[in-house]
Structures are given as structure tokens and as C-alpha cells.
């Protein structure tokens, strides 16, 4: 098993390691957890991740009037957001985003490893036309090697999305993936629930939780 000590990278943000989060992660890591429970508790973590990502968006002052007829000096988000899910596993995070941000637009990208070259290959992309004007929440539950994520980020940059407007949200990642993404894209922020030990010889995160997409969608 290749394992790297994780350094608290300034561009990688962990959810607060509360007892609640530790319980939720323990449930979804358990091989004996039913699919129904896996989906339910994964969705709870995804919502926490989206809430944390929103904390990293800039705000501007906005004064409003309360029902008491009093002016209140509040704030509102600066700019609009959209989600981009890396198919198929990333689609599991779309509903969590919609629960937090009503009416949010979501793009989809399908990238798979080419059997001949062993490199990520783009098969499908559908992004909002005005994506260059939005903050992008990139959705993929696991960050292992970072190959698919990097290819998707390259696609977003070609669509004129500023690098510092991309927030990559995942449930579990490993030091190798963090290092690869933050080195190649130093302005991107990673929002994650937990950093695991590393990857095994097959490039699976360990201790991990298995194939997230298979467990969430009930396929093998």
C-alpha cells in the first residue's frame, strides 16, 4: 500500500471532525451496511459538505427590511453557483446540492480510463452555457489518483471558469490525490469529510468504503 502522510494543505478543508460525522462515516464504511442506510447516511454527509462549501463563497452587503419595519444590514452571495458532477458516482451528490440550493443548475461530465492508453478520456460533457460566470461546485465522492478530477477541471478551465472559482467536494480522499490536484491547480479548494491513509496497488483508497457508485446505486 502506498501511503503518504497528509499535510494540512491550505487548499484542502476538512469538515469539523465531530462525533456525528465520525458515526456517519463509520456507517457508510461498514461492508454490512444495507444500501438503503448507505444512501441515507451518505446523503447526510453530502449535505454537510455542500453547506461547508457555501461558507467559502464571497458575500456582499445587502440591506433588507424585516417584518417589523426595521432595516437590517445583511449579506448575500456574490455571484451565482452551479454544480458539475463527474458521472456516474458524482450524480449521487446532485440531490444533496439541490436540497441546499433550490433551482441550482447542474452540468455533467463522463470521463473513463481508455483501455489502450490507461489515460482518462472524455466521453460526454454538458455544461451550463454561462458556466464561466458562475462558481462551480465539482461533485465526486472519492478522490483517489485525481485523474478524472484533473481532466474535468481542465475542461472547466477551457470553458473559461476561473480556477479560483472551482470548489471540489468529495466524501473521502487520500494524500496522493490531494497533492496531485493542489499542485496542478493551486487555486482550487477541496472540501472533504475525511482523508484516508492512501491507495493500494489497485489504486483504491484504503481503508476506504469500496466502490461508492456501486453501493449508492445498487449495482456491481
Proportion of the chain above pLDDT 70, given as a percent: 93
pLDDT at residue 47, rounded to an integer: 97
pLDDT at residue 122, rounded to an integer: 87
With vertex at residue 12, the alpha carbon angle to CA 55 and CA 130, rounded to the nearest 5 degrees, is 55
Radius of gyration, alpha carbons of the chain: 18
More confident residue, 187 or 202: 187
Tell me the CATH number at 181.
3.40.50.2020
pLDDT in tens, 167-180: 999 999 999 999 99
- Nearest Cα to 173, choosing from 1, 13, 10? 13
Q: Give the largest CA-CA distance in the chain.
A: 67
124-132 contact pairs (CB < 8 A, 24+): 124/87, 125/155, 127/84, 127/155, 127/156, 127/159, 128/82, 131/82, 131/84, 131/107, 131/156, 131/159, 131/161, 132/159, 132/160, 132/161, 132/162
Please state, in angstroms and rounded to a whole number, the distance separating the CA atoms of residues 129 and 220: 34
Please state, in angstroms and rounded to a whole number, the distance separating the CA atoms of residues 1 and 18: 28
Is 60 exceeded by the pLDDT of residue 6?
Answer: no
Please state, in angstroms and rounded to a whole number, the distance separating the CA atoms of residues 94 and 46: 9
pLDDT in tens, 87-142: 989 999 999 999 999 889 999 999 886 656 657 788 899 999 999 999 999 999 99
- Nearest Cα to 132, choosing from 160, 157, 107, 156? 160
Q: Which of 66, 102, 117, 201 is catalytic?
A: 117
pLDDT in tens, 68-86: 999 999 999 998 999 999 9
Q: Which of 37, 184, 214, 219 is catalytic?
A: 214
- E-strand stretches of 53-187: 59-65, 71-77, 80-87, 105-113, 120-126, 134-139, 142-143, 166-173
Please state, in angstroms and rounded to a whole number, the distance separating the CA atoms of residues 99 and 216: 18
pLDDT at residue 7, rounded to an integer: 59
Beta bridge partners of 110: 87, 124
pLDDT in tens, 10-61: 799 999 999 999 999 999 999 999 999 999 999 999 999 999 999 999 999 9
Burial grade of 199 (CB within 10 A; 0-12, 13-18, 19 or more): buried
Q: Where residue 203 falls among pLDDT bands split at 50, 70, 90? A: confident
Helices (H), the chain: 19-29, 35-54, 94-100, 147-158, 175-184, 212-217
Q: Is 211 a catalytic residue?
A: yes
Task: Give the 3-state secondary structure of residue 138.
Answer: strand
More confident residue, 189 or 79: 189
Please state, in angstroms and rounded to a whole number, the distance separating the CA atoms of residues 199 and 159: 31
Domain count for the chain, please give it: 1
Q: Is 9 a catalytic residue?
A: no
Distances (CA, A) of 151 to 32, 62, 126, 185: 34, 37, 14, 11
**pTM tops 0.75, yes or no:** yes
Q: Which of 9, 154, 200, 211 is catalytic?
A: 211
Q: Which of 113, 130, 164, 219 is catalytic?
A: 113
* Full domain range(s) for residue 29: 2-62+71-217
Amino acid at each position: 500500500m502506498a501511503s503518504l502522510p497528509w499535510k494540512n494543505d491550505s487548499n484542502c478543508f476538512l469538515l469539523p471532525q465531530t462525533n456525528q460525522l465520525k458515526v456517519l462515516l463509520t456507517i457508510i464504511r461498514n461492508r454490512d451496511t444495507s444500501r438503503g442506510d448507505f444512501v441515507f447516511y451518505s446523503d447526510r454527509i453530502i449535505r454537510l459538505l455542500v453547506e461547508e462549501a457555501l461558507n467559502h463563497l464571497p458575500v456582499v452587503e445587502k440591506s433588507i427590511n424585516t417584518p417589523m419595519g426595521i432595516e437590517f444590514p445583511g449579506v448575500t452571495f456574490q455571484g451565482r453557483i452551479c454544480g458539475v458532477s463527474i458521472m456516474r458516482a458524482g450524480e449521487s451528490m446532485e440531490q444533496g446540492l439541490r436540497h441546499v440550493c433550490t433551482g441550482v443548475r447542474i452540468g455533467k461530465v463522463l470521463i473513463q480510463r481508455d483501455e489502450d492508453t490507461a489515460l482518462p478520456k472524455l466521453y460526454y460533457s454538458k455544461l451550463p452555457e454561462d458556466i464561466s460566470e458562475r462558481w462551480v461546485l465539482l461533485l465526486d465522492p472519492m478522490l483517489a489518483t485525481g485523474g478524472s478530477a484533473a481532466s474535468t477541471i481542465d475542461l472547466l478551465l477551457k470553458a473559461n471558469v476561473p480556477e479560483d472559482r472551482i470548489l471540489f467536494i468529495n466524501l473521502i480522499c487520500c494524500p496522493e490525490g490531494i497533492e496531485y490536484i493542489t499542485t496542478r491547480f493551486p487555486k482550487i479548494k477541496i472540501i472533504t469529510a475525511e482523508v484516508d491513509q492512501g491507495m493500494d496497488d489497485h489504486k483504491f483508497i484504503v481503508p476506504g468504503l469500496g466502490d461508492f457508485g456501486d453501493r449508492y446505486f445498487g449495482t456491481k
